[in-house]
């Protein structure tokens, strides 16, 4: 009898703490690491203008955010990739209806160490490098050294986008994969640091992370096209071949507090913040 | 009234005692429930011996052999480094060191055990990784060897303190007998004390290894996490623990990937269970 009482008491304590987490004037945003800084900037300005409302932001990766939307633990998901069919099906099963809002664009930069003589590559060469078919810099116009591949972990929207649009060249039937020898690093910053210290390394990340310690590669669609640098201008006019949408997902069309926040994001003020954080706005 | 108090306290202690076993069983049942579902999509043989780990592809490839070998390689390396140093340190503390030095060494080792693994991982990332890269002229220093060295630091405190206890519990008469027969100090340690304490020392080693297999954060930071079949200790590896930690956040609840990660957890649980049971057997043999 006593044992049972204790058990129920413990269970009650757990449930109470779970329900205590949600409050009425709070928006929970979760998802893409690429977009964390951007949404933080949005949230700060939004909270300044709407005192009393509270916006909480967590990273973890686009997949993490979408899982959270499906399990109902966040109001808005930041995603740097489009939601998968499978995820939509899972969401529907649980009565969640993902609604997509495009809020910006991001150019994906491919970076090498500044000491690396290679400065331009085609998409095809990139695919061969990251799948391991080209394993030495010699074969890509560089010095005789083994290529060190750096990739984000599989929970990253950047990882998925790079695989689908560079390795598989948008072909849904392609079975290309990252070389199993690719190092999986857990953040864009970790890739930036490793590239800065390793002349044989090549990595990729959102162009907001480029600094003087890394050299962005000029990329061309194929051998006949121009090699273009990952700049905001080239992403806007579509010349730079590796760019992707930045998205928000909500459960159904946004309403109430969530709508207020999304409207702010799409306003000229919100879109100015997109530009300030080195991404590309969608609305002028 | 006193009897009632006695009764309540007795039962409370009983509950505390049973609780740990109860929780272990619950955890294992939960692992089994979530993990076994993966075998609907992949056969146990292909899961354990498949060579490709691409959990988010369509269809997913869920072979964890590279991960198992990665974990074993890092652990083996850590064992080779930490066992001689750890046991040597225990012998020195228990048999050779004079009083003051003994105290300093003991507290130093306790301090080593108190360093959080993420701190060790970070130190390894900025100091050890470039060092390994330069010494061996490697394309990258994020290798199994870097992981092994860092984990050896984590296994040492366990090995030293338990081995030291084992050495202390060797009856004094053994040592006195050996010395009385004219054996030197070293002969006494090597021929008499170490064999007498061997089961306790083996238990210490097994517990140290158990700690290494389960370690996550430090290995995730410095072994490179490439899910490739390891062919050298100077190549990057991906361990079982790092895989769960890195991917669990992303896995959609109820997907094959999610179940596969729980199955990885079962494998890890079974490995540590075997290691701990072995350690226990050695400890009981001693008594």
pLDDT the model gives residue A90? 87
| A90 interfaces chain B, CB cutoff of 8 Å | yes
Residue A71: is its pLDDT beyond 80?
A: yes
pLDDT the model gives residue A284? 55
Please tell me if the domain spanning A2-105+246-276 has the same topology as the one spanning A107-243: yes
The CA distance from B20 to the nearest CA of chain A, in Å, is 14
pLDDT the model gives residue B287? 53
Residue A20: is its pLDDT beyond 50?
A: no
Residue B238: is its pLDDT beyond 60?
A: yes
Nearest 10 degrees: Cα torsion B250, B253, B258, B261:
80
The CA angle A128-A180-A64, to the nearest 5 degrees, is 105
Closest CA to A103 of A264, A276, A239, A251: A264
| Domains (range + CATH), chain B | 65-283 (1.10.3720.10)
| B228 interfaces chain A, CB cutoff of 8 Å | yes
Which residues of chain B are within 8 Å of residue A182 when distances are taken between CB atoms? 226
pLDDT the model gives residue B126? 86
Q: How confident is residue A99, by pLDDT bands cut at 50, 70 and 90?
A: very high
Asked if B247 and A86 come within 8 Å (Cβ–Cβ), the reply is: no
pLDDT the model gives residue A29? 93
pTM: 0.76
Domain ranges across chain A = 2-105+246-276, 107-243
| A3 interfaces chain B, CB cutoff of 8 Å | yes
Considering only the top CATH level, what class is A2-105+246-276?
A: alpha beta
Are the C-beta atoms of residues B210 and B37 closer than 8 Å to each other?
no
Minimum Cα–Cα distance from B226: chain A residue: A183
CA distance B105 to B89: 9
Burial of B37: CB neighbours in 10 Å, binned 0-12, 13-18, 19+: middle
Q: How confident is residue A278, by pLDDT bands cut at 50, 70 and 90?
A: confident
| B54 interfaces chain A, CB cutoff of 8 Å | yes
Domain A107-243 = CATH 3.40.190.10 = yes
| B236 interfaces chain A, CB cutoff of 8 Å | yes
pLDDT the model gives residue A138? 92
pLDDT the model gives residue A258? 92
% of chain B at pLDDT higher than 70? 98
Q: Scanning the structure block, which residue is given the tokens 């972990």? A: A153
| A87 interfaces chain B, CB cutoff of 8 Å | yes
Asked, as a colleague might, if the bond just before B59 is cis with ω within 30 of 0, I would say yes
What average pLDDT does this structure show over B266-270? 92
Asked if B253 and A201 come within 8 Å (Cβ–Cβ), the reply is: no
Asked if A181 and B226 come within 8 Å (Cβ–Cβ), the reply is: yes
- CB-nearest to A2 from B11, B133, B252 is B11
Closest CA to B205 of B121, B79, B94, B95: B79
The CA angle B213-B215-B218, to the nearest 5 degrees, is 130
Which residues of chain B are within 8 Å of residue A60 when distances are taken between CB atoms? 249-250
């Amino acid at each position: 009898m006593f044992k049972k009482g204790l058990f129920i008491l413990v269970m009650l304590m757990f449930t109470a703490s779970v329900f205590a987490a949600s409050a009425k004037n709070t928006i929970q945003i979760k998802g893409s690491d690429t977009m964390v800084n951007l949404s933080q900037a949005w949230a700060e300005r939004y909270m300044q203008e709407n005192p009393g409302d509270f916006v909480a932001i967590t990273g973890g990766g686009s997949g993490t955010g979408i899982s959270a939307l499906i399990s109902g633990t966040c109001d808005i998901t930041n995603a740097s990739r489009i939601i998968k069919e499978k995820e939509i099906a899972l969401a529907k099963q649980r009565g969640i209806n993902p609604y997509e809002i495009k809020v910006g664009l991001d150019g994906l930069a491919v970076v090498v160490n500044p000491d690396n003589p290679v400065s331009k590559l085609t998409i095809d060469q990139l695919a061969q490098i990251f799948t391991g078919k080209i394993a030495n810099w010699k074969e890509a116009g560089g010095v005789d050294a083994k290529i060190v591949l750096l990739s984000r972990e599989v929970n990253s929207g950047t990882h998925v986008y790079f695989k689908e649009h560079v390795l598989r060249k948008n072909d849904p039937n392609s079975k290309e994969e990252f070389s199993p020898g690719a190092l999986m690093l857990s953040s864009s910053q970790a890739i930036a640091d490793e590239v800065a210290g390793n002349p044989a390394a090549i990595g990729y990340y959102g162009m907001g992370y480029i600094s003087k310690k890394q050299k962005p590669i000029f990329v061309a669609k194929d051998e006949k096209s121009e090699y273009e640098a990952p700049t905001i201008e080239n992403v806007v006019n579509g010349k730079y071949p590796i760019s992707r949408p930045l998205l928000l997902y909500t459960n159904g069309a946004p309403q109430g507090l969530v709508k207020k926040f999304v409207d702010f994001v799409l306003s000229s003020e919100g879109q100015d913040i997109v530009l300030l954080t080195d991404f590309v706005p969608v609305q002028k | 009234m006193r009897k009632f108090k006695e009764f309540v306290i007795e039962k409370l202690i009983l509950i505390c005692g049973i609780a740990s076993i109860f929780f272990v069983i619950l955890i294992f049942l939960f692992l089994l429930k979530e993990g076994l579902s993966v075998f609907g999509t992949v056969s146990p043989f292909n899961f354990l011996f498949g060579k490709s780990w691409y959990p988010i592809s369509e269809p997913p490839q869920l072979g964890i052999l590279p991960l198992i070998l990665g974990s074993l390689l890092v652990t083996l390396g850590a064992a080779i480094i930490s066992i001689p140093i750890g046991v040597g340190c225990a012998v020195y503390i228990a048999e050779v060191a004079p009083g003051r030095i003994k105290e300093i060494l003991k507290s130093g080792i306790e301090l080593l055990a108190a360093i959080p693994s993420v701190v060790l991982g970070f130190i390894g990332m900025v100091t050890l990784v470039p060092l390994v890269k330069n010494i061996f002229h490697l394309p990258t220093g994020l290798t199994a060897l870097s992981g092994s060295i860092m984990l050896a630091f984590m296994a040492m405190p366990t090995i030293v303190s338990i081995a030291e206890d084992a050495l202390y519990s060797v009856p004094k008469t053994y040592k006195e007998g050996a010395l009385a027969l004219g054996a030197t100090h070293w002969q006494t340690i090597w021929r008499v004390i170490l064999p007498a304490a061997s089961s306790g020392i083996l238990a210490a080693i097994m517990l140290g290894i158990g700690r290494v297999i389960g370690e996550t954060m430090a290995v995730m930071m410095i072994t490179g996490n490439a899910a490739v079949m390891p062919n050298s200790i100077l190549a990057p590896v991906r361990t079982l623990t790092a895989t769960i930690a890195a991917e669990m956040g992303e896995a959609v609840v109820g997907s094959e990937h999610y179940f596969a990660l729980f199955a990885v957890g079962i494998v890890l649980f079974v490995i540590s269970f075997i290691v701990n049971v072995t350690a226990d057997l050695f400890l009981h043999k001693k008594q």
